Amino acid sequence: MELQILFLSLFVSIAFPLLVMGYLRKVLYSIMTSVCGQADAADFWYRCVLILAITGSVVLVIGFVPTHAGASWLLVIRSALILTSIGIFVAVAIVAKTIWSTVVTPAIKAAKNSAALPVAGGVK
């Protein structure tokens, strides 16, 4: 039973990040393409994020999900889902923070600077 619990935990920790990253792929790919300027670079960074999400979830699940013979399936699934969610959250948070600081913050600063400029033909 320990082996079945381990495989179930690993399945959850790999399948869920794949589902979430599949959901985010189109948006992330377009943002990364605009930031990187090339499709190959965007694909590379998307794969890095995917690896980060999967390995983070797997490490958490392997380290903390109870796999002893007396562990109930419900406890194992619950623990695996919680830890996988934490791994996905951390990976997505890292990407969102990076995109925010490289795309959104400069756009906000540019908008503030352009709003501060006087309008042509304005008051003399």
- Is this structure's pTM higher than 0.85? no
Cite the DSSP H helix spans in 37-122. 39-64, 73-99, 105-116
**From CA 32, how far away is CA 44, in angstroms rounded?**
10
Residues in the chain: 124
pLDDT tens column, 20-63: 999 999 998 888 888 888 889 889 988 988 999 999 999 998 88
pLDDT tens column, 83-94: 999 999 998 899
